[in-house]
Amino acid sequence: MADIRLPPTLPPLFPGLPRRLELSAATVGEMLDALEAQWPGFRDRLCEPGPKLRTHIHVYVDGERADLDSAIGAGSRVDVITAISGG
Amino acid sequence: MSKTVVLVGTRKGVFLLESNEARRDWQIRGPMCESWPIYHAIHAPDSGTIYAAGASEWHGASIWRSTDLGDTWQQSSEGLTYGDGPLKLSKVSGLTAANGRVFAGAEMPGVFESRDGGATWSLLSTIDGHPARPKWNDPENQPPGHLGVPAILQHPDDAKRWLAIVQGVGIFETTDDGVSFTPRNQGLRADWPLEHPDVGFCVHKLVMSRQDSNRLYQQNHVGTHRSDDGGQSWTEITEGLPTSFGFACAVHPHDRDTFFTTVLDPGHGRTMPDGKLAVWRTRDAGASWERLGNGLPQEGAYLGILREGMATDTLDDFGLYVGTSTGQVFASIDEGDSWTEIASYLPSIASVEVAVVDA
């Protein structure tokens, strides 16, 4: 099971979504599929058409910058970061 | 008893200003919508739902909705996309609720609709058919922030008939619910070369009289204009105003000849001329103008008012409301003769709308 850590801006949008959770997924894209299945609309908040990650959403797998195709290991830590903008 | 609710869309969420029918004492609730940047917040009178068009720099564009006057909110962008096609959706600029539907005008230019109270959306039109369309959608011709559809104006008697503004291009009318469009820009001024004679006009805000659906007004990039034939032709009514550039305007809810506008310095600043905040009123459909500044700041007020920054309620002694780029909301209940500041320190305001609901 991977250790998934989400930014504080997401849980208020999806009732029951925790900041930190564990799930099994082979890639970042599959991780989003699993979260979309449980919280419909989740993918739209992180991805744009392509599909690709939104410009100011950064995902790291075990500390390395990742994209949708990046692999997630059984014990990986995945950090989803809201980056740069805000103001 | 009724309650007056001013819906304020800001850079940091929706705020609701609430008062009774007297509209003298106001309470502020907010921020709502998780403090997302909000471009337009409206109240649908048939359902009582509030809709707010938001675009988060992190999480993209979505439309928020509340069925309990702001106590709880949900958001959805399901279907609010151009998919993998050439058009990119950066935000929703304008919302309109009519006949059980909600319209969302998007940038790049397109119109979406929801028939299920904002739970899901579908693309209704990308304003196809005009020979200039490929050029206005060319990314090379898009300014920073992109062009979009900031407003949709529904005809009161025909659900398939509505007007849409395409920024920097002009007004288009459909009578078949978005299948085909006719430009409605005849008589408008452009201070730049036009590649097509019927488009290339910079319409900032369009309003329709509640008494007469043929009476329209618009505040344009160059000029204030009136139409007496539902937008088929336009007459400029700028003479008497200090500048011809502005965004926000409103028509009197009970008198088609009384109209309010706000004009700005037309240069890069686009703030109040001489730092003095004023609303301008005509009672004769634009033949003459009065400057209204009693109660508005008359020194150092270098602020702007954006296209959705002015609204009226529909009470007999109606209220007129203005929201500024510096976070103040001013209200008048004597048709603009005097003003009261009813909110002072909100984030920068993009939109003001008003609902009168049962208390």
Report the pLDDT averaged over residues B27-48: 97
pLDDT in the model for residue B15: 98
Task: State residue B107 phi and psi, 5-degree precision.
Answer: -120, 130
Residue A68 near residue A53 (C-beta atoms within 8 A): yes
A9 touching B (Cβ < 8 Å): yes
On whether the CB atoms of residues B217 and B225 are closer than 8 A, the answer is yes
Using 50, 70 and 90 to split pLDDT, how confident is the model at B11? very high
Q: How many residues does chain B have?
A: 359
DSSP per residue over chain A, as a string? -EEEE--TTSGGGSTT--SEEEE--SBHHHHHHHHHHHSTTHHHHHEETTTEE-TTEEEEETTEEE-TT-B--TT-EEEEEE-S---
CA distance linking residue B239 with residue A41, whole number of Å: 51
Residue B49: the pLDDT is: 98
Please provide the distance, in angstroms rounded to a whole number, between the alpha carbons at the two ends of chain A: 35
Find the closest chain A residue to B78 by CA distance.
Answer: A41
Q: What percent of chain B has pLDDT over 70?
A: 99
**Closest residue of chain B to A10, computed from CA coordinates:** B59
Q: Does B35 touch chain A (CB under 8 A)?
A: no
Given a cut of 90, whether residue B68 has pLDDT beyond it is: yes
Burial (0-12, 13-18, 19+ Cβ within 10 Å), B107: buried
**Interacting residues of B140 by C-beta distance below 8 A, sequence separation 6+:** none
What average pLDDT does range B1-25 have in this prediction? 96
Mean pLDDT of chain B: 95
State residue B330's pLDDT score: 98
Q: Quick check: A49 and B75 CB within 8 A?
A: no
Position B83 scores a pLDDT of 92
Tokens 């409103």: give the residue. Answer: B250
Of A12, A40, A82, the CB nearest to B58: A82
Residue B134 has pLDDT above 90, yes or no: no
Closest Cα in chain B, distance from residue A25 (Å): 22
Model confidence pLDDT, tens digit, residues B280-337: 999 999 999 999 999 999 999 999 999 999 999 999 999 999 999 999 999 999 999 9
Which of B133-137, B164-168, B244-248 comes out lowest in average pLDDT?
A: B133-137
- Report the C-alpha gap between B143 and B147 in whole angstroms: 7
The mean per-residue pLDDT over the stretch B43-52 comes to 97
CB contacts < 8 A (A, B):
46
B195 — pLDDT class (breaks 50, 70, 90) = confident
Q: Which residues pair with B41 in a beta bridge?
A: B52
CA distance B164 to B170: 8
CATH architecture of A2-82: Roll (3.10)
Q: One-letter amino acid identity for B165?
A: I
Q: How confident is the model at residue B144 (pLDDT cuts 50, 70, 90)?
A: low
- Cβ-based contacts of B59 with chain A (< 8 Å): 9-10, 13, 44-46, 54, 57, 82
CA dihedral for B195, B200, B201, B206, sign (positive or negative): positive
pLDDT band at B106 (very low <50, low <70, confident <90, very high): very high
Residue B38 and residue B30 in contact, taking contact as beta carbons nearer than 8 Å: no
pLDDT of residue B145: 63
With CB atoms and an 8 Å threshold, state whether B59 touches A46. Answer: yes
What's the pLDDT band for B180 if we cut at 50, 70, 90?
A: very high
Residue B29, pLDDT > 80, answer yes
Global pTM reads 0.96
Please tell me the class of the B77-346 domain: mainly beta
What is the C-alpha end-to-end distance of chain B, expressed in Å?
6
Question: Domain coordinates of chain A in residue numbers?
Answer: 2-82
Q: For chain A, which ranges sit under pLDDT 70?
A: 85-87
Largest Cα–Cα distance in chain A? 36
pLDDT at A86: 59
Sheet holding B110-114, edge to edge: B91-98, B101-107, B110-114, B122-125
Q: Is the pLDDT reported for residue B264 higher than 80? A: yes
| pLDDT at residue B1, as a whole number | 85
DSSP state of B196: S
Match 């998007």 to its residue by tokens.
B106
Enclosing H/E stretch for B135: helix B133-136
**Residue B243 confidence (pLDDT):** 97
For chain B, percent of residues with pLDDT exceeding 90:
89
